Chain A
Amino acid sequence: KQEVTQIPAALSVPEGENLVLNCSFTDSAIYNLQWFRQDPGKGLTSLLLIQSSQREQTSGRLNASLDKSSGRSTLYIAASQPGDSATYLCAGTPENSGGSNYKLTFGKGTLLTVNP
């Protein structure tokens, strides 16, 4: 059974800091990996998708990487801003699932607070 661990569970930083969020999978056979942002009581906003043939994706101040050999992913946020405060969730679909990659397995998330 795939399990996803996100470290740290919570992080508080001053505005302007660069930071790294970590995510690890017990089964490294990952097809796709997505990082999401969730504001309190809201749905999920997709930030970055790393497809099966990729190892890294960048969007603005965000960069995500995936090491398939170890089943570890990192989300790097540059020059953090108070508006980045949210819970960040990583999730992956399995590489071998009978021909359909149907199930996203999530971590519990990292609660990020960026202080002005």
Chain B
Amino acid sequence: ETGVTQSPTHLIKTRGQQVTLRCSSQSGHNTVSWYQQALGQGPQFIFQYYREEENGRGNFPPRFSGLQFPNYSSELNVNALELDDSALYLCASSLVTAIYGYTFGSGTRLTVV
């Protein structure tokens, strides 16, 4: 059974640029969620994807967008990067009912300069 894999592990971008982060879900899971974790804080929910559609969204602006593919993998896209977007971005996979909880990846550390 494979876990959740995220790429890249680290990324440095310039303010105003765009970035795409990738996530492969755990085998058997059909839902992917994305979280942003600032230094010293708990992860904050960005959005969730199920059946290739957004299934819930947190308090993040539209420049945060995502995709889910037929194999349940997912992308997080952030446009017009701001310095405050610097954070650890975590991907979690689950069943849509979350009955067995969530499995997280190792994260992508994004630094915006």
Contact = CB atoms under 8 A, between A and B. Distances in A.
Interface in A20-78: 31-32, 34, 36, 41-46, 49, 51
B106 A42 contact: yes
B96 A100 contact: yes
Given A36-B104, A46-B104, A100-B50, A31 B98 contact: yes
**Chain B interface bracket (under 10, 10 to 19, 20 to 34, 35 or more):** 20 to 34
Interface residues of A, number: 27
Contacts of A44: 43, 90, 92, 104
Interface string B74-113: 0000000000000010101000111111111111010000
Contacts of B99: 32, 51
A46 B103 contact: yes
Contact of A4 (B33, B42, B45, B50): B42
Contacts of A4: 42
B42 A100 contact: no
A102 B42 CA distance: 17
B58 interface: yes
B71 interface: no
Given A41-B88, A43-B107, A89-B42, A104 B102 contact: yes
B58 to A, nearest CB: 7
Interface string A66-98: 000000000000000000000001010100010
18 contacts: A4-B42, A34-B102, A42-B107, A43-B105, A43-B107, A44-B92, A44-B104, A46-B103, A46-B104, A49-B101, A89-B43, A100-B97, A101-B98, A102-B31, A104-B33, A104-B92, A104-B102, A108-B40
Interface of B: 6, 31, 33, 35, 40-45, 48, 50, 55-56, 58, 88, 90, 92, 96-107, 109
